[in-house]
Chain A
């Protein structure tokens, strides 16, 4: 399982396989090792951490407060299960990154799940898909542009 992470406005990625974890930050710092999770208790490389969620993006680990979001790079938006696919939809960058390709133009008709924009972050390319069938009202993403988390890329109506 792979996930993207934003932590205090920096990016990282995490990958687990069985009981092994690999956590890589954008600054190149890598944490690798064996883990075990039991409720709020995490053992990582034999060290014990207590992890508790706070309000919103807040998460506390051993008394330290982090602002963190984790999301599936395949999802359009972080931390949300079902999205409401009605009305005007703003497709936003789920994490800071760089626009690699813009796949649609204003006025195009799109199907639900059709790719709109490709954004690269942490050396992983994510295709942002349309949450609904409709017409592209606006394309704000420009190739090679750097985008911040939450920035509007495309509007579908």
Chain B
């Protein structure tokens, strides 16, 4: 095993990895940009290495600086976390060239799975189901018409060079196909300089369900079951759970999806932790989407349900150890749900809301796991993703996990930056959520049926009372510091 590892990331995931390292008796090196000098990961790690100015393009994304930092501190391996350089094949190669172990899959596997189209071709060759559609760009209207009639409406036109919804059109019937094709092609041409369009079967109200895989460097590969991540805003997950509530009515699905995920992973000679993402339709048909060749943000729900420590296994596998777990050893107990606490405003289209954390009182208690990268007084930087923490709950049943999560959200006090804590309580109380009727359009529909409740006047009175006492001289102490900060600090010292 390694004796020292550099964490090439920031925020809550850097804290998560530093914790795993300490548990294994491995020295940790946090990396930090200017904005993260005071971060929690820097405070918790044994050592810390400066990697550059605040913009990630000048620090966390700089392969040369990260590797130089690892060398400077004598780290034998680098854990990339998620995002930043975690899915960068060039980085994995640069680590190897510098004699440093990259904690993740081989560079070649990252390359094979990195591009969506390459991954789709690999999945087809490996025998995993993909969303039916034309592989190549459509030559024209006649080809589009015959392809659409074979696929069956509704279909989706997509730009070959695309992304971000540009050049994408839903088509419900043949009468709309011609104009949609024209619009999609011209939009794609304007956006990407390439007007090629292909056609796919539209999966209506799909669930996003993904399979966690784990493989060692000795040819042994298993899956750790699924996570359902259908609750998304702007195509980004906000609530994840394991098991998926859909599995209760489709008990054979986990096994089938797990096998499909392993086929894809084997075809790419995958090792270490990874995730194969699928769309699942109402009839339990599933379609390969893409592979994330790294640790996922939402890995804690798998850890809670399986009892395994994914980061520990990542480290062991990277160090060349054998994965001593067999597929039959993997069991799922109870239910785990996680919500991502973001510095963003749910009332204004989830706009990021940076600022300084004025008061923080974190939840704990039975069944609660909090992966947090913040503390009172921390200034949430403008430069990065506004993820503050992940709050997860485990219960013997899904109902119990929801109750615990809701209770923990009620305990959570985080002020100074707008956040989505109160919003999650509304989602958890929603009847469709409770029934497990999830799809990737859940939040869109939730906003339509959402009812705003008026604040209890007694809540107003309590707030006014505190402000009144604070504004009077009694509220300020002789040294001019605020009672708020002091009481917050006292709470931390309890």
Contact with B along A36-63 (1 / 0, CB 8 A): 0101101011010111111100111111
- Is A70 in contact with B467, judged by CB distance below 8 angstroms? yes
- Is B415 in contact with A52, judged by CB distance below 8 angstroms? yes
B468: interface (CB < 8 Å): yes
Within 8 A of A (CB), among B435-463: 455, 457-463
Q: Which residues of B contact A42 (CB under 8 A)?
A: 462, 465-466
- Is A70 in contact with B484, judged by CB distance below 8 angstroms? no
- A65-B421 Cα distance, complex, nearest whole Å: 11
Partner of B490, one of A23, A39, A60, A69: A39
Partner of A52, one of B413, B459, B469: B413
Q: Which residues of A contact B417 (CB under 8 A)?
A: 54-55
Q: Which residues of B contact A54 (CB under 8 A)?
A: 358-359, 415-417
- A52-B413 Cα distance, complex, nearest whole Å: 8
Task: Tell me the dominant secondary structure on chain B's binding face.
Answer: helix
- Is B359 in contact with A62, judged by CB distance below 8 angstroms? no
CB distance from A59 to the nearest CB of B (A): 5
- Is B458 in contact with A45, judged by CB distance below 8 angstroms? yes
- A5-B460 Cα distance, complex, nearest whole Å: 10
A145: interface (CB < 8 Å): no
Partner of A37, one of B359, B410, B465, B484: B465
Within 8 A of A (CB), among B469-494: 469-472, 483-484, 487-488, 490-491
- Is A64 in contact with B461, judged by CB distance below 8 angstroms? no
- Is A44 in contact with B422, judged by CB distance below 8 angstroms? no
- Is B469 in contact with A37, judged by CB distance below 8 angstroms? yes
Partner of B471, one of A3, A8, A62, A63: A3
Within 8 A of B (CB), among A90-123: none
CB distance from A33 to the nearest CB of B (A): 9
Q: Which residues of A contact B421 (CB under 8 A)?
A: 63
Of the listed residues B466, B469, B490, the one surrounded by the most CB atoms of chain A closer than 10 A to its CB is B466
CB distance from B493 to the nearest CB of A (A): 13
Q: Which residues of B contact A79 (CB under 8 A)?
A: 471
- Is A23 in contact with B483, judged by CB distance below 8 angstroms? no
A1: interface (CB < 8 Å): yes
Size of B's binding interface in residues, CB under 8 A: 39
- Is A44 in contact with B461, judged by CB distance below 8 angstroms? yes
B192: interface (CB < 8 Å): no
Q: Which residues of A contact B483 (CB under 8 A)?
A: 39
- Is A64 in contact with B455, judged by CB distance below 8 angstroms? yes
- Is A25 in contact with B465, judged by CB distance below 8 angstroms? no
Partner of B465, one of A21, A53, A60: A21
Partner of B460, one of A25, A50, A63: A25
Nearest neighbor of A5 in chain B, beta-carbon distance: B464
- Is B422 in contact with A7, judged by CB distance below 8 angstroms? no
Contact with B along A53-87 (1 / 0, CB 8 A): 11100111111111011111000000100000000
B355: interface (CB < 8 Å): yes
- Is B484 in contact with A53, judged by CB distance below 8 angstroms? yes
Partner of A53, one of B355, B415, B455, B462: B415
- Is A50 in contact with B464, judged by CB distance below 8 angstroms? no
B266: interface (CB < 8 Å): no
- Is A23 in contact with B461, judged by CB distance below 8 angstroms? yes
Q: Which residues of A contact B194 (CB under 8 A)?
A: none
- A97-B457 Cα distance, complex, nearest whole Å: 21
Q: Which residues of A contact B468 (CB under 8 A)?
A: 1, 3, 14, 16, 70
B169: interface (CB < 8 Å): no
Contact with A along B245-283 (1 / 0, CB 8 A): 000000000000000000000000000000000000000
B425: interface (CB < 8 Å): yes
Contact with A along B41-56 (1 / 0, CB 8 A): 0000000000000000
Residues of B within 8 A of A (CB): 355-356, 358-359, 361, 409-410, 412-413, 415-418, 421-422, 425, 455, 457-472, 483-484, 487-488, 490-491
Residues of A within 8 A of B (CB): 1, 3, 5, 7-8, 12, 14, 16, 21, 23, 25, 29, 31, 35, 37, 39-40, 42, 44-45, 47, 49-55, 58-66, 68-72, 79
* Nearest 4 pairs of A and B residues by beta carbon: A39-B487, A23-B461, A54-B415, A70-B467
- Apart from A72-B471, A79-B471: 6 A-B pairs, beta carbons within 8 A: A1-B472, A29-B457, A35-B465, A53-B358, A54-B359, A63-B425
19 A/B residue pairs, CB under 8 Å, sorted by A:
A7-B464, A12-B464, A14-B461, A35-B465, A52-B358, A53-B467, A54-B358, A55-B355, A55-B358, A59-B466, A61-B455, A61-B459, A61-B460, A63-B410, A63-B422, A69-B467, A70-B471, A72-B471, A79-B471
